[in-house]
Structure 1
Amino acid sequence: MPALRRTFAAIAGTALLGVPALAACSSDSGGDAVKVTASDKKCDVGKTDWTAGKNTLKVKNTGNQVTEVYVYAQGDRIITERENIGPGISVDITFDIKPGQYEVACKPGMKGDGIRQKVTVAGAAEEKPLDPRLAKAVAEYRAYVQAQVDGGLPVLEQFVAAVKAGDTAKAKELYAKSRYGWESIEPVAESFGDLDPKMDIREADLEAGQEFTGWHRLEKTLWTTGQVTPEDHKYADQLLVDYKDLQVKVGTAEITPTTMANGAKELLDEVATGKVTGEEEAFSHTDLVDFEGNVVGAKKAFELLKPVVDEKDAELGKTLSAEFAAIETVLAKYKQGDGYVAYDTVNDEQRKELSDAVNALAEPLSKLAAAVA
């Protein structure tokens, strides 16, 4: 979910459901951490000349709004991000970065382009042989991402064909399935800048002048009027073109142990700020399918990194294994056939149980990057 799609309604819904904005966390990442003070009107970056390699941002939200912090490369390609940082909360973000020009963006209210500060990264990262276990994890995760995207293409092609044939029932049946692979690897997809807002923007989060395209544009037609128009054909065709573009690009994605770990946390943020609130699938109410996709993708990254985590921080590995099992147990209550019940049938008490499970996993997951850096 791109940052520009965040709304105050989503934030309020999260609080009502019992998912607090990100709790305080810390890491033993070491090195010269860069302090970032994010307020409602400023984004103060303590140092704007960084050294390539491993870096840590120590972010404190001194504002009154929930915020998020991004590090962008040219073209708003996401290097790292952390969403859902509550007022008064401090978090550490550990990541790897190459020489070049970047921007740090603080987004009070989790919306818009944010308040930005340019930074320069110079020097060469210290060349250390990557732990063979981490090298294996990166290779296997890259293969997983490609497989998820490749596997989703035939389903999306069927979905688009159903939309264009006016077969509303078939298109509805395929809608959530066509998104599953995307949901499991969304942080990688977001790293390519413009693809995510084109493919996955929600109507409620459109910026002034922005065209409503992608999955949710078609979702609205299917679950409101049910009358597919020639304009919908155009959007369906474009969604397929964009997906095929993603299929080619994922093979070039920058994947490191820390991007895997941070991506896992971002997937849990996606659940907390969109799926648990019921705002992601406003018309179809297929949020729980997306929820599962996010959790499955996060768990995959963790499991690949787990051999190193168990050695460096055995307690963290044990906690994460237990919390993934717990969230899967709660989610399983809502299985129906090969999918899930409609989210509008899940009452507030049940949503609270789901959100509690998300929050219990999110806090230890925020420490994963530091454990493998």
Structure 2
Amino acid sequence: MRAVRPRGAATAAAVVALLALSGCAEKADGSGSDAIQITANDSECKVSRTSFPAGHVRLKVENKGSKVTEVYVYAPGDRIVTERENIGPGTKADIVAEVKAGAYEIACKPGMKGDGIRQKVTATGQNSAKPGDPRLDKAVAEYRKYAQEQADETLPKAEKFAAAVKAGDVEGAKKAYAVSRVGWERTEPVAESFGDIDPKVDVREDGLEQGQTWTGWHRLEKALWKDGKIGPEEKKLADQLITDLRDWQKRVGTAEITATSMANGAKELLDEVATGKVTGEEERYSHTDLADFQANVEGAHKSYELLKPVAAQKDPALSTELDKQFKALFALLDKHRDKGSPDGFAAYDKVGKDDRKKLSDAVNALAEPLSKLAAAVAT
């Protein structure tokens, strides 16, 4: 997970502009001049308008501040509708998303901390009742099934990890740790959309908000690899981890998933890799970053494969490029496999500077075309 989020968050700026205004309308893919302009700096989050028609929306974000920022669109209860990470000073971001009629907040987070500088906005009108593309309906249904399967498969693996912790078996817990995280890492944007689960389960120590108690995988990771021991507190935390993961498992089926949220989620997973895994920050004690890395890319690829029938028709060149870059990144990851490792990969602290640079370059080469997927499937 990223270093800091709303409840603990990530990086930078985000999303959404408009579909049709009668007459002077946005195109269905979110392109055009009627986007919502968001200007972020270190102390402000200026939104060009606070009311816009519901539908496929596009935000054009510019960071004029001195800090890396991120932008969120929140529904009530801080449920994340969409987000964009890692918007550096002097850079811009542009994403298409689907926004239903209702009240929202747009938040800019300079320095990637806290609840952000927020602006209340409203998506007006009625939610469309017209039939959508059946191929996208199928993609959403299949992805919903996939997300639930990942949660269901995670629980027994996490329970094995927790059982080792509770038994005081440090080595057994180490072997089960990374394997227990794979399903979570594949579908993390869905979990993050609920707002309250991710900070309990996947926050790192430097991502804690003021007054927040550190729980979850990374708290136990530190105990196992840095402290090398398990005490009564860690055993309680193992039980808490399972409680929180069961909550996630039960709620996955209620997540709001659209074709554009799938596409944006795929890009978010690549941002996760770029800001946490490639740097070695995510698994700083266990050095199991490559297992997380692989799972993030697998999750992004799943979304793309499900959306590909529409994307390939609307933007063949984009689809060809995505096929190429996914293949290249998976091939590069395969070079770091280790059959003797519990998670199947070499420890990341053994990966040299040049190889890390190659991985980073491959992630960036994929992230750029992947950022265009949402516009390609917007209808």
* TM-score, with length taken from structure 1: 0.93
Of 146, 149, 155, which residue of structure 2 is paired with 1:147? 149
Q: Which residue matches 2:214?
A: 212
Q: Which residue matches 1:30?
A: 31
Q: Which residue matches 2:21?
A: none
Q: Which residue matches 2:163?
A: 161
Distance in 1 between residues matched to 2:209 and 2:246, nearest whole Å: 25
What SS does the aligned partner of 1:362 have?
A: helix
Of 348, 356, 365, which residue of structure 2 is paired with 1:351? 356
What SS does the aligned partner of 1:336 have?
A: coil
Amino acid at match of 1:370: A
Q: Is contact 2:106–2:120 with CA below 8 Å preserved after alignment?
A: yes
Distance in 1 between residues matched to 2:205 and 2:281, nearest whole Å: 10
Amino acid at match of 1:91: A
Amino acid at match of 2:63: N
Q: Summarize the alignment of residues 171-190 of structure 1 with structure 2, pairs less than 5 Å apart.
A: 171-190=173-192
Does 1:269 find its partner at 2:274? Answer: no
Distance in 1 between residues matched to 2:144 and 2:194, nearest whole Å: 15
What SS does the aligned partner of 1:350 have?
A: helix
Distance 1:82 1:3, change over 3 A: farther
Distance in 1 between residues matched to 2:365 and 2:66, nearest whole Å: 24
Q: Where does the alignment leave 5 or more consecutive residues of structure 1 unmatched?
A: 12-20
Amino acid at match of 1:278: G
What SS does the aligned partner of 1:279 have?
A: coil
Of 49, 64, 67, which residue of structure 1 is paired with 2:66? 64
Q: Which residue matches 2:24?
A: none
Cα shift readout 1:277-332 (whole Å, capped 9, x = no counterpart)? 10001110100000001000000000000000010000000000100001111111
Distance in 2 between residues matched to 1:2 and 1:364, nearest whole Å: 22
Distance 1:57 1:255, change over 3 A: same
Q: Where does the alignment leave 5 or more consecutive residues of structure 2 unmatched?
A: 18-26
Cα shift readout 1:28-75 (whole Å, capped 9, x = no counterpart)? 623631110111111001111122121111111111222111001112
Q: Which residue matches 2:226?
A: 224
Distance in 1 between residues matched to 2:96 and 2:59, nearest whole Å: 7
Q: Summarize the alignment of residues 185-204 of structure 1 with structure 2, pairs less than 5 Å apart.
A: 185-204=187-206
Q: Which has the higher contact order (CA 8 A, sep 6+)?
A: 1
* TM-score, with length taken from structure 2: 0.91
CA deviation after TM superposition for structure 1 residue 210, in Å: 1.2
Deviates more, 1:47-56 or 1:182-191: 47-56
Distance in 2 between residues matched to 1:3 and 1:354, nearest whole Å: 20
Amino acid at match of 2:376: A
CA deviation after TM superposition for structure 1 residue 112, in Å: 2.0
Distance in 1 between residues matched to 2:364 and 2:226, nearest whole Å: 33
Q: Which residue matches 2:375?
A: 370
Q: Which residue matches 2:51?
A: 49
Distance in 2 between residues matched to 1:124 and 1:76, nearest whole Å: 22
Task: Please list every run of at least 4 consecutive aligned residues from structure 1 whose deviation after the TM superposition is greater than 4 angstroms.
Answer: none
Q: Which has the higher helix share?
A: 1
Q: Which residue matches 1:304?
A: 306
What's the % identity of the aligned pairs?
Answer: 63
**What's the Cα RMSD here?**
1.8
Amino acid at match of 1:142: R
Distance in 2 between residues matched to 1:127 and 1:318, nearest whole Å: 33
Q: Which residue matches 2:4?
A: 4
Does 1:99 find its partner at 2:138? Answer: no
Cα shift readout 1:4-35 (whole Å, capped 9, x = no counterpart)? 259xxx99xxxxxxxxx99xxx9962363111
Distance in 2 between residues matched to 1:89 and 1:57, nearest whole Å: 14
Q: Which residue matches 1:123?
A: 125
Of 130, 136, 139, which residue of structure 2 is paired with 1:137? 139
Distance in 1 between residues matched to 2:95 and 2:65, nearest whole Å: 19
CA deviation after TM superposition for structure 1 residue 127, in Å: 2.9
